[in-house]
Amino acid sequence: MNTMKINKRLVILLLTPLVLLLIPLVAMQFTTEIVWSLFDFIVAGVLLYGLVILIELGIRKLNENKYRILYIVGIVLIFLLLWAELAVGIFGTPIAGS
């Protein structure tokens, strides 16, 4: 693979969580409905960057497309379940939010 293509993809993957974290930050300036603390931003950043790093790792290490797709779908599902648990506590674990 071309090094420029890998670097461009990596830059896009690393900037995406930053842009996503700007959404609640900007929204907090206009409404009182969204109230995130520094800890919320740190947790969201760790989750989003962890997701991005695991996806990039799968893309680089897995050679067959079907395995890449299965790996990425699995990682995204785990991410979504963890995010939902932290947000509303769908499983009732000690890390459950609200």
Q: What are the domain boundaries of the chain?
A: 3-88
Residue 7 CA: distances (Å) to CA of 71, 79, 84: 21, 24, 31
Q: What are the DSSP E strand ranges found in the chain? A: none
How do residues 31-80 score in pLDDT, each as one tens digit?
999 999 999 999 999 999 999 999 999 998 999 999 999 999 999 999 99
In the structure, what pLDDT confidence band is assigned to residue 96 with cuts at 50, 70 and 90?
Answer: confident
Q: Which of 43, 40, 45 is nearest to 28 (CA)?
A: 40
